[in-house]
Amino acid sequence: MRQYGWGRMWSTYIELPEASDAEPLGFDCGAYTAWNKMTPLHWRDFPEEIFLRRLEALPRVPDVAVVPDLPMAGNSSLSFSVSWRHQLPNEFPWHLAVQDGVSMSLVEENIDHFTGLFLGGTGSFKLRAKEWCDLAHRHGKTFHYGRASTYKRVREARLMGADSLDSVSPVLRLADGDGPKRGPRALFRWIEEATSQNPQMELFL
């Protein structure tokens, strides 16, 4: 990670690992984790207390931060994120999570509240990634590709000009043992996709 200048995306409720000032740091709001694990809260009830505690624990201003959202809630998620944005510290680079069902025109109307866009959503929604990337860049915003979990997504993110991306895939592939799609060979293939042709792009692993 140090060799390639990659950092970590803090997206779970565990304690934040120590990170040097030189290491890029991403801060995910945790909404997807709460929804995916079906916490005792209703899935539309954002875990506010946990989010604020994690925000308070950050050692410094992150390089990318995701505003609270409601996974799979479309325009309701957009309204929720806009309401949250006004409560958050302005020095943070807050990104709006875009996902299935959200209106591109409504996002464009509200984009000035945010530093950039964070691509969430299902695999089918991610097929529109370049549209969202282009929208962000037209307004002078950054674009983060969330869950670039396949070689194809990593390649597409790089080629479309995404400013950053995150993926747990190389770690999982390495942990799952050897084989054509597992182990060290798979990790190095991911690294090759992530760094090929555009070595100056900042990536979050």
pLDDT tens across 134-154, in order?
999 999 999 999 999 888 899
Q: Tell me, what's the pLDDT at 145? A: 97
To the nearest whole number, what is the mean pLDDT of the chain? 85
Model confidence at 49: pLDDT above 70: yes
DSSP states of 31-71 as a string? HHHHHHTT-SS-TTS--HHHHHHHHHH-SS--SEEE----T
- The Cα 81–Cα 147 span in angstroms is 20
Share of the chain above pLDDT 90, in %: 50
Q: How confident is the model at residue 44 (pLDDT cuts 50, 70, 90)?
A: low
- The Cα 59–Cα 144 span in angstroms is 22
What is residue 133's DSSP assignment? H
Please state the domain extents for the chain: 8-14+23-195
Q: Tell me, what's the pLDDT at 190? A: 79
CATH for 8-14+23-195 (3.40.50, 3.20.20, 2.60.40, 3.40.720): 3.20.20
Mean per-residue pLDDT, 151-166: 92
Residue bearing tokens 């899935």: 43
- The Cα 61–Cα 33 span in angstroms is 22
Identify which has the larger pLDDT, 115 or 72: 115
Q: Are 160 and 130 in contact (CB under 8 A)?
A: yes
Q: How confident is the model at residue 164 (pLDDT cuts 50, 70, 90)?
A: very high
Name the pTM for this structure.
0.88
Identify which has the larger pLDDT, 66 or 186: 66
- The Cα 88–Cα 67 span in angstroms is 8
Half-sphere exposure of 156 (CA within 13 A, CB side): 18
Backbone angles phi, psi at 140, to 5 degrees: 70, 25
Long-range contacts of 165-170 (CB under 8 A, 24+ apart): 165/194, 165/203, 165/204, 166/9, 166/11, 166/26, 166/204, 166/205, 167/205, 170/205
